[in-house]
Every structure is written in structure tokens, then in C-alpha cells.
Structure 1
Amino acid sequence: MDNPASEPPVTAVLGAHVDDAGTSFSLWAPRANRVELVLVDDQLDQQNYDLEQYPDGVWRRHLPDVGGGQRYGYRVHGEWAPELGQRFNPAKLLLDPYAKAITGGVDYSGPITDHTAESNFQPDPTDSFGSVPLSVVVADSPAPAPLAQPRPLEELVVYEVHLRGFTKQHPEVPEHLRGSYAGLAYSSVVEYLVGLGVNAVELLPVHHFVSEPFVIGRGLVNYWGYNSLGFFAPHGHYSSAGTTGEQVAEFKAMVSALHEAGIAVILDVVYNHTGEGGHEGPTLCLRGIDHGEYYRLTEDRRNDYDVTGCGNAVDTSKPAVLRMVLDSLRYWATEMGVDGFRFDLATTLIRDGAHHVDQNHEFKQAIAADPVLSGKVMIAEPWDLGPYGYQVGRWGADWTEWNDRFRGFTRDFWRGAVGGVQELATRLSGSSDIFDHDGRPVTASLNFVTAHDGFTMRDLVTYDLKHNEANAERNRDGADDNRSWNHGYEGETDDPGIIAARQRAARNLMATLLLSAGVPMITAGDELGRTQGGNNNAYCQDSPISWLNWNTRQEWPDQEEFTRRLLKLRAEHPLLRPGSWRRHGKVVDAAGRSLGRSPIAWFNETGWEMTNDHWHDQGRRTLGMYLSNADEGLLIWFHAGADPIETDLPGAPWALEYQVLTHSGTDGELPEEPIAPGSTLTLPGATVAVLAVKVRTGSR
């Protein structure tokens, strides 16, 4: 076409859609001059059909008697002109970007690149069929059961889960279901999640993904899944029933099971790049349809402009690409029933045509205006690897952001690497220094101490150094700045003193996370003492290194029980999950009369409020956080010092009586009976203690 359309029309329905008479196929490829649809039968024979070109850049054809389960691909013809961002090569069989299911894998020893071995800019005429995956036609089916009562953000407790690794070794899940969508939906697994107290699972990528050639070459795989190939297709390998559409039905059944238990489903989505890598990598989908229309390119149009570190960057400054991403989000929200999204390297999605970061990008505007997406949970990983990619705190009122400042400080505080408690108060109260502006709520901060990337919580208190030898990169991969503390011995030990200290430290980390304002995220297994043996970059370990070992709960039982107690407290006490910023002022009763106390106050160990000198004391290791409303109060002590400290409990008007609800120490370390105001409470070294406060309510 002389003037190719910049995007398909709003009315264009892309992908493969089944009707009573057959299936309609449509592909947007505005710069192509011919598109062949390839149907593949059970004997792997191919039958080709030419699609008809329309002025809107969409190629279409309806085929009778074709239905669900049919495997297919595309061969896209056009000019080979890398200097124009065109790498058309019909020898390469391509996936449908809108495919709802994908079957098969990539043979990295096969002819999967569009270019020759001698040059990245000379076309390779060898057919890639047999070495690349295929798209699958999927008929429409009912959406999953919705959540009966979606929770507001302040009530969410996010549980980051690797779908395969969570149940791969689960003793109560039938062997044939372990590591699958059906495994996560299994009754004993759902009951565990409900009993723990989490109400949202955030699934590591379940868009269909592939491994990178360099990982395959080491005899490993991409386990985490941050290498998407299909934005509409659930990952086929996670299906227990099959990969020719069965994965769609199994995913929907999983969502229904979780929803019926009151658990929201959030997807970790990777729209910033694809598994094709740079132009020297395999041609499997978008590059063969139109390299320059789908990916960010350098000024010479021959090379990828990579701000992701993964070889390419999807170009959402192009209307058609943005349309594809939004279509994918709507599909997962409506047809697949998910409740929210966490966007990997989200900054890439808000770069403009000049690759500059634009917080007013059409991507964000479109989500805010969309009647479906605007009501979903939106979580940004607010950075990428490009210029000005670090955008923490800048995403606006409709977004929640991964707060890496919370992660770094919490680790440093409990290992004694920071002085004073000033930043502790800021992090506990929602990180106002980052998020309290432009009308943003306290739930803008997603608080976390660990995530899939890095040490587990157990490893954080067990290792000073990473131990990634199993990744076959000579331990050169993964972060070196872990802010961890091995408590005097590197690795696992039988020393009871070291074990006790480590477990106490882990309880303190968990308490800080779950008692802070904002949205907490727990990494699955941290409550069970999960370990990766010191591997802090287990992205390539589809093995017991990464799989959750359910037997560790027997070694760390106090961690699990303490986590349950904390989550129960968070659910029972709205004070621990504010939806708005707490301001200093006066708590009043129903008649508007002051009750003489503040919604939030900070105390030192003498029972008096912190002074300016206290806040600037770099040797201070103890802080009391007081929270109250008209009906109740809580006093939470954070004591990071190694030795016990005597604390005087504030008297009137702050409290009428105190009662220890839970603490990170061992049984018997703190009193169980009620405590009078003004009494002295001895906090053991390295302890978090939560006290209920009986307060004057104004009622007679």
C-alpha cells in the first residue's frame, strides 16, 4: 500500500473468531503485499489460503468448517528492507499476535531467524515450519465467575505466586495437576490461601512465553516467564489437560475457584518486550509481521532501540501497538476474569515516539477512560533501563507502584545499616515523601521486602553473598547489593542460636511489611521459610531450587503462625490499613468532641512523644507508632537494638489500658495480662510488639 494505515479501525476484530459457519481470520499488516494463512492438520500437513487486503491495513478471510482446536500460522510477504524497518520473509511461519492459545515450542537449532548466519541483514529462505510454535483457534466460552465483592485497595494483601513452582511439590495436590492452573485451583491450595489471610494472588507471567537462546544453550529454561510471545494466550506449559485450547478452559476454571474463595487474581504482564529479542534473534511473530511498526528502532531503522535489556522494546507510541496492548488487557479482564495487572518495566509503555518518558501518555489516558480497565487494580513496576526510566512516585492517582525504597530501607533497618528512625516512620506510614502529592492515596505504595527477583526472606537472613552457581554463569549474574545479613555464618547451620536469630529477624521483616500503611505484597513461601539456597536470580531454575518446598514449614513453624496472626490483625483492625493519609490532629467522638488524642503519634521509650532531637538521633533504634480512631487504638513498638530496652507506656489521654496482641519474640517474653498506662514494658532485643489500646470513646 502506498499510504499504509497507522492503526486498524475501531471496528476491526483481529485474530481468529469462531461462528456458526466457520472461523474468521484477520491480521493487521499494513506494509505487507501478501498474507497467507496456513492451516496445519494432525499429520502436520499445511494448507495455505490467501487473505484479502483491505484499505484499513487489515487482511481478512472467513473459512467454513474451521473451528476450535485448529492450528494455524501466517506467512507475511513484503519488501526485505531492514533500513526501513521491514524484514518480511514468508519462509518464516508466524504466530497470530491475537492468538488465544499457542501450542508447540521453539527449536533453537532450527531455521528460526529471518536472516542468514553470515549477516543479520540478508534474508534466509529456509522454511521455519516444524521449528516454531503454532497458533490455535479457540471458540468462545463463558467467562469465569466474578468476585462477589471486590475489595478496595486498602484491604488487599497481595501474594506473589509462581504458578508452576507453588504446587510443583505440594504434597496434597495430585501429581498430574502439580504445577498447573488446576493445581493452583485445587481445594487444599485454595484453603491454604484463605487460611493464611491473603486475598489477592499476583501470578508471575502466564502470558505464553518462551526461553531465550542463551538460556537454552546452558541446558536451562526461562522459568519466571518474563519473555512473552502471546499477549492473549495463557501459557500452554501450565495446562494439565493440553495445549490446543484446553489451557484457556483450565485458566478460567482456576479463576472461578479463586474468586469463589474471595481471592482476586492479578496478572504480572510483560508488554514492554517480546521473546523475539533483538533483530538478530528468532522471528516468531511481530518482527515478521512488521518490524518497524511493532518495535522501537534506532534512527537508522535497522536496529532495535532497547530500553528493557531484553533485546527489543514494544513501541506503544504507535496507535496499532497501543491498541493491541489495550485489547489484550480488556480480553483478560472480561473473557478471562482477572481483577488487575502488574506491569513489568512499566516505564517502557509510556515512552513517546522519540523514546522519551511521558507520564501523560495515551496508554495511561486510555486505561483511565476505559469503562472496564479503569476499575481494575493497576500496579506499575515504575522503571525501565532507558534514560529517565526510574519513575517511582510519578504514576498518578489511579496507580499503585512497587516501592523499592520500602524494600531497601526495611532490610537496612533490621540489619543495622542505617541510623535513626526518621525514615522508619515515613515508610511505616505509607512513604509520604514519595506518594503524598497530587491527590494520591496511601495505597499508591505497594510495600514489599522480597519479590521473585532476589533473595527469599529466609535467604535474606542466611546469606551475605549470592550463590548462583547453578545458573551456569560463574556466579556473575544477579545483584550484588542484597542488603542481607547472614548472622555470622554463611548458609544453613545447625547452630540453634543462629537459627533462632535468623527466624526472629524474618519475623521482624514480615511484621514491618504487614503493619505498614499501603498495599503489602508477600512473596509466596516467605511465610514458610522458603529458601533458594542463596540463589538470588533463579529466573532459569525450573527445579527444586525455585519450587516451593512445603516441608520447610516444619522447620520454620513460628514464621507461618506469626504471618497468620499479623494478617488476621490487619483484617480485623482498619487502623492497620488506612485508605487515606493520616494527619496529625484530634480524634473526635460522634458528637464532634475531642477525645484528646491524635490519629497518629510517635513515641520514644520514655512514654513521651518524639522530639526533634529524638528524630535526629542517629543512634536511636526504638520507635513506638500509636494509631487511633474514635473506637480503638494500637501501639506498635519497633525495637531493632540487640539488647532489651525498658519502655514506659503512654498514659492519659492516650490509653486506659494495654494488651499485647502479638509480637515477634518467643513465648513468654512479653506479658499476656492487661497492662496499666504508665507501666514499664521490657522489649527484648530485635522485637516488634503490637499492643491493643483501650481508649476513651466518649460514650457513657
Structure 2
Amino acid sequence: MKNSSTYKATDVIAGFECRPGIYTLNGASAMLHAVNFTIHSSNATGCSVVLFRRGNTEPFAIVPIPDSYRIGDTWSIMIYGLDIFEIEYCYRFSGEYAPEKGLLFDEKKNILDPYARAVTGQSVWGKKAPGDGSYHGRITTDKFDWGNFVSHNIPFSDLVIYELHVRGFTNSLTSGVAHPGTFDGVIEKIPYLKKLGVNAIELMPVFEFDELYEERQHDGNLLMNYWGYNTTCFFAPNTSYASKVEYNHEGDELKNLIRTCNENGILVFLDVVFNHTSEGNEDGSVFSFKGIDNSVYYMLAPNGKYVNFSGCGNTMNCNHPIVQQFIIDCLRYWVIEYRVDGFRFDLASILGRSEDGTPMENPPLLKTIAYDPILSGCKLIAEAWDAGGLYQVGSFPSWNRWAEWNGRFRDDLRCFLKGDNGMAWAAIQRITGSADLYPPERCHNASVNFLTCHDGFTMYDLYSYNTKHNEANGWNNTDGDNSVTSWNCGYEGETDDREVMGLRMRMIKNAFATLFFSRGAVMFYAGDEFCNTQFGNNNAYCQDNEVSWLDWSRLKKFREIHDFVRDMIAFRKKHEVIRHATNEGAFGFPDTSIHNTTAWNKNTNDHDHVIGVMFAGKDQKGNDDAVFIGINAYWEECSIELPALPEGYDWNIDFYTFVPYKKGTDFNALIYRNGNKYSLKPRSVIVASAIKKLGLYR
């Protein structure tokens, strides 16, 4: 709480002692005897602070901010005698109402402070707040004890990122946690994540959002803003994710989650949505930015209509100086107050568009974020495309700071693994670090490799469905991705057919083996390690039910896949040559080499379905190390030749996906070998490492 004893009241307004506030202190901040309110608007002609008693919908006071308290476009007032534990607040702005000019001022409209640290009426999931539906801000105090918190500097290419939805992760009764669907519920699963080998979690949106935004009924089911990509307030945590009400210390449970992750060596990234807000288009609500400075915060057409590069009704005007500053302030706030380790930026290409929507070569916002001293230790990950057709995978402005969700990795390897022609060379490029997309100086921190995420099929569904099944979303199955990169392995949907299920398990292991053998950071979606299903729904954004909630009972049923994932992660961590290019190689081999049915033959054609990649270099003790992945994506048995190792060394088969996986299995005895040629069964993968010779296997 800041000391206001040196600031003396100079006026009485609406019965309150007041004085000009601290103009650089955005939002509502508790002082020793007062509350400081500061907000900006370049087009408003007047501004008032509206005060409510806690839980009330009618204000008990409206405090107009005098023109003399305005400097430039900033209103700031210090109001004395307020009990922050008993009040809520918002603003009202006066000015011109002319939608065709982008002006939407209404002096009777309650407007939420974009800098509010907490928002009222959102603490119970799925329950509407009483009254007119307007949002109020709450003033918070910060007494959270971070202890000896020190951020972990995990190299980018060492990251194993686990993307999760806070509610969906534990809301099912099968999770077995005491606080399902909450930050505390995630905390209860940290030992599980640590044993799995995850060292970073990426939380889908945790800024305050209204899950009942655009709620609707379909076939008797309530559909809602479940994912949370329609933000209500960017500085406030989503209070419905807290297991208990946190009046005036909102965010403590999230901070506890971040602190506990830190204690267990796990980084926390936030999925942030600065490309649009939940105010929508011309038919949407006016509750925050629209009522403050609509033409500043949003991209507008000349007729005042909203430009829609986000696909969600509006587009934030990210490179306007005022909006730039807001975004920087927000990111800094979450790093300083919540100690987050990084951010994934939804539809990040919008952040690189100019005020007229044109893509910029050196967007000032992205550059400022890249060089900001407070954000310098953060991982910055871009979803390098938008709904307006801009696709920047491999070309997103980076300043050697921005990484990208590598959508090409996902698409190319999905196609190769299911047997598509003409994909062998692309698959090799993705496994070896996507050098065709990223120059050498960026390869170590540019690519987040993934095959699944919240958008699209789960890993299990990827090999259980040929087409999406989104009928439950209420759009006649027209929503969601239409690309054909999945394969049902011979039967659409759930089946007990042992042959089909055996093939599915093999394909899932193939996918995970390839992912964890690839250079770059890796990411997968929560529950994929135990074959969680969304029943073919590849766009479950509105499904707050068993479609989206993880079914933890599948952990027992699909323990083989879980253990395979756990041990592939451990293998990746053991062999630094997978994660880091050394340029020096080992055993007389280069750092990276490409093979097919014949060792050292790197030529591919449109009909090749067998590839091999070897990484060679020094291990952590300075000893020579080499690892090899051989992939047979063909539907018949094929052989692959591994490079001959120096005298005294041999290849050990650490993983072979054709047979059921169990830790400790001697896979060398389960695969036919003739010299350095190995016979790979249809649609199977081997992962091998060089060891001191123990004998030959046949």
C-alpha cells in the first residue's frame, strides 16, 4: 500500500476529500489514506469515478474528475476515506456518440477500468452476476510471500511444454483432486507433471473472462466461452479458477501455483490474447475499451465498422502508441506481480499489423517487447498467423527473441507419419530443426515443435477420426479445422477391434517418438500422454463438459502410452545431442546426418516413406554420443541401415514402437538385424543410441 500521507486533500467533490492523483500510476491503487484512480482517453470530454458498495449494483457515489485534474489525455484523482475492502468501482465517460466516426461515448454507461486488478461478479463459474451485467473493478492488496523465488533459466531447446486448460485439467471427478477445475487443482497434479518430465506448463487464458459470453443452448446443452479467448480484463486473474473467494487479494491462488511450479523446476507460460477482446463487433457489448476510446483501441474501417483479422468480431489496434503502452504495461505487470516465465501470444501476427491493418516489416510493438528490460528473461512464443490470412511461420519478426509455434512441423509430420507421398524431405527438415525456415543463428530458440494443441484433434483422436465431428458445437459441423491430416486407422471413432487399436497405439508412439527426437522446444496437449479423447471434436472451445475435461481414468487403460511418453522425455533429456547442435559431431560423424534404407543416402523422392536421422556430439561428460531415429511410415515391412559405429561400439535399440512398450524391454531381441540393417515392421519407429559393444543381436 503506497504512502499518501504526503499528499494532502485540496478539494471536496461529491462529499469526498480529493486531490489530483499520480498521473503515472495507472488503474486504481490503494494509498495509505486514499485510493488513486488514473485513466486515459484522448476523445472523451469528461470522466467520473463511479463507486459501489461491495455486491451492489447501484452506485453510492459518482465523483466527477475536474478538468483541472486532467493533464493531456490523462485523468487522475486521489479520493480519501474509501474502504477498499467494501467498495467496487468503474468509470463513466462523456463525449460524442457517433459510431460512424468510431465514437461511442455514453455518460450513463458503466465502463470497466482496463487496468483493474480484479473484476467483480465472476468468482463462481457459470453463474451470472446480478444487476445490469456491467463489470466493476476491485482494488487489491499484495501481501503474497514469494519466499526465495528465483526464476529458472531453462534453455529454450530444453523445454518440454505441457499445454493445459485450468478447468478442464482437473474438473472431471476422475482427476481425484480435492479442488477440481481450479488453480489448486493444478497444484495437486504437479507431482504427476514432474514425474512425467514436463518442465514448463502453458496455461490457456487465465485473464478474467466471462464464460457466459455469448452463451447459447444446443440440443439441451449449455455452450459457453469455455476456452476463455474472449478477454474481459487483461490485468485481472480469472477468479472462477480460484477454489475460494479472494476478496481484495485476487490472484493469490494463481501466484501459489506459479510459486509451487517454480519450486519443482517447472516454468509457467501464459497464453495471452491481445488480438481482440470480448466487446465484439458493432453488435457487441460496450463495457471497456469501446466506451473509453473506441477509435484508438480497435482497428476501424472508414465507416466506423470493426476490422476483423481475429475472426472474433474486432481487432485490437496493437501498434497505436496508446495500445502498445497498454500491452507492455500488462506484460510487465504479470512478470513483476505474478513472476510468470513467458507468454504465448494468440494470433500474434495481428500484433505486427499497422493501424490500417498492413503487415509491418519491423512492428514497433513486437520490437519493444523483444528489447524490454523487464521482459528480457521471458520466453516469447508467437502463434505466427491470424484469421486475416497472414501466415508468418518462418518469417515472424524476431530480433532473435521471438519463437514460433511451428505449424509446419505439425502439418508436415502428420502427413508423413500417416503415409502421404512427397513428405519425406519435409519430415527430415522438421526433425532436424527446420533449417529451411529458420537461419542457423535462430535454430536454437525459434521453433516450438508440436503435433497437437488445444486447436484441433487430441493425439488419440488424430488416429481415431478421418474427419472432425463438431456437431455438438451447434454450427452444423462447419467450424473447426478442415485440413485432412488425421487417419482413423481403419475405423471411425471408438472401437474394441484389437487390430485397429494396436495400429492406433503404434501411430501414437510413432508421433511421440518423432516429436521428442526433434530439434527445438517441444510441446504437447494435456492428456495426450494417456490418450484423452474429445470424441472427434477438433474445436471444443464451447464445451464445458466431458468433451473437454480430461478423463483421468484413461491413465490406467493407456498406461503403455503414458510410460512411453515419460521415457521418451527422459531419453531426450539424457541425450543433449538431440536438443543442441554442436557442429563438431562425434565418432567421426557430423552433428546431423540424413539416411534412408541405405546409410548416408540422403536422397528422397515422392514415394519415399522410410527416413533416418542421426545426431552426434558430446554428452554432458564430454564423451562421444550418437542417437538415431528410423521411421517406416510405409504400410509394408522395410529395412533401414544405420551408420557403422567405430570399433567397440554398437547400436542399442531403446524404443521400438511395433511391440508393446514396457520399460526395461530388450528391444534388440525383438527386431531382425543383419549387420547394420534393421527390418522395421509396417508403420513403426526405432530410436537407438550408441553404446559400448555388448554383443550382436538377431
Q: TM-score, normalised by structure 1?
A: 0.88
Aligned partner of 1:205 in structure 2 is 205
Match of 2:614 among 605, 626, 630: 626
Mapped partners of 2:461, 2:491: distance in 1:
12
Could you say which structure has the higher strand fraction? 2
Give the aligned residue type for 2:628: L
Match of 1:31 among 35, 43, 47: 43
Q: Greater CA deviation, 664-673 or 64-73?
A: 664-673
Mapped partners of 1:100, 1:58: distance in 2:
19
Check whether the contact 1:461–1:485 (CA below 8 A) recurs between aligned residues. Answer: yes
Give the aligned residue type for 2:79: L
Aligned partner of 2:345 in structure 1 is 343
Mapped partners of 1:221, 1:655: distance in 2:
62
Mapped partners of 1:480, 1:676: distance in 2:
42
CA deviation vs aligned residue, 1:259-304 (integer Å, no higher than 9, x gap): 111100000000111000012211111101111111111123x211
Mapped partners of 2:671, 2:420: distance in 1:
35
Is residue 2:604 matched to residue 1:616?
yes
Match of 2:80 among 64, 68, 79: 64
State the 1:35 CA deviation.
1.3
Aligned partner of 2:492 in structure 1 is 490
Mapped partners of 2:691, 2:650: distance in 1:
5
Give SS of 2:415's match: helix
| Unaligned runs of at least 5 residues, structure 1 | 1-8, 107-111, 113-127, 589-594
Q: TM-score, normalised by structure 2?
A: 0.88
Give SS of 1:298's match: coil
Aligned partner of 1:272 in structure 2 is 275
State the 1:248 CA deviation.
1.0
Aligned partner of 2:5 in structure 1 is none
Mapped partners of 2:600, 2:65: distance in 1:
75
Give SS of 1:101's match: coil
Indicate how the Cα distance of structure 1 residues 530 and 172 shifts in structure 2: closer, same or farther if over 3 A, else same: closer
State the 1:650 CA deviation.
2.6
State the 1:11 CA deviation.
6.4
Match of 2:422 among 415, 419, 423: 419
CA deviation vs aligned residue, 1:365-398 (integer Å, no higher than 9, x gap): 2112211112210000011123645454332221
Q: Trace 1:326-405 onto structure 2 (pairs within 5 A).
A: 326-386=328-388, 388-390=390-392, 392-396=394-398, 397-405=400-408
Mapped partners of 2:601, 2:491: distance in 1:
37
State the 1:230 CA deviation.
0.6
CA deviation vs aligned residue, 1:566-585 (integer Å, no higher than 9, x gap): 0001111101111x5x65xx
Is residue 2:630 matched to residue 1:637?
yes
Give the aligned residue type for 2:269: I
Q: Greater CA deviation, 210-219 or 484-493?
A: 210-219
Check whether the contact 1:649–1:678 (CA below 8 A) recurs between aligned residues. Answer: no
Check whether the contact 2:421–2:609 (CA below 8 A) recurs between aligned residues. Answer: no
Indicate how the Cα distance of structure 1 residues 100 and 382 shifts in structure 2: closer, same or farther if over 3 A, else same: same
State the 1:610 CA deviation.
0.9
Indicate how the Cα distance of structure 1 residues 274 and 143 shifts in structure 2: closer, same or farther if over 3 A, else same: farther
Aligned partner of 2:255 in structure 1 is 252
Give SS of 1:629's match: strand
Indicate how the Cα distance of structure 1 residues 288 and 129 shifts in structure 2: closer, same or farther if over 3 A, else same: farther
Match of 1:87 among 100, 104, 116: 104
Aligned partner of 2:3 in structure 1 is none
Aligned partner of 2:153 in structure 1 is 150
Q: Greater CA deviation, 72-81 or 193-202?
A: 72-81
Check whether the contact 1:144–1:335 (CA below 8 A) recurs between aligned residues. Answer: no
Q: Trace 1:58-137 onto structure 2 (pairs within 5 A).
A: 58-69=74-85, 70-104=87-121, 130-137=132-139
Mapped partners of 1:570, 1:229: distance in 2:
40
State the 1:214 CA deviation.
4.2
Mapped partners of 1:643, 1:391: distance in 2:
34
Check whether the contact 1:346–1:381 (CA below 8 A) recurs between aligned residues. Answer: yes
Aligned partner of 2:6 in structure 1 is none
State the 1:84 CA deviation.
2.6
Q: Greater CA deviation, 648-657 or 214-223?
A: 648-657
Is residue 2:411 matched to residue 1:408?
yes
State the 1:557 CA deviation.
1.4
Is residue 2:70 matched to residue 1:54?
yes
Match of 1:659 among 646, 652, 657: 652
Mapped partners of 1:43, 1:342: distance in 2:
34
Check whether the contact 1:604–1:624 (CA below 8 A) recurs between aligned residues. Answer: yes
Indicate how the Cα distance of structure 1 residues 680 and 61 shifts in structure 2: closer, same or farther if over 3 A, else same: same
Give the aligned residue type for 1:688: V
Cα RMSD, aligned residues only: 2.6
CA deviation vs aligned residue, 1:583-628 (integer Å, no higher than 9, x gap): 5xx636xxxxxx522112122334x3115xxx23322221221111
Q: Trace 1:440-459 onto structure 2 (pairs within 5 A).
A: 440-459=442-461
State the 1:530 CA deviation.
0.3
Check whether the contact 1:163–1:204 (CA below 8 A) recurs between aligned residues. Answer: yes
Check whether the contact 1:102–1:244 (CA below 8 A) recurs between aligned residues. Answer: no
Check whether the contact 2:22–2:77 (CA below 8 A) recurs between aligned residues. Answer: no
State the 1:644 CA deviation.
2.6
Mapped partners of 1:43, 1:148: distance in 2:
38
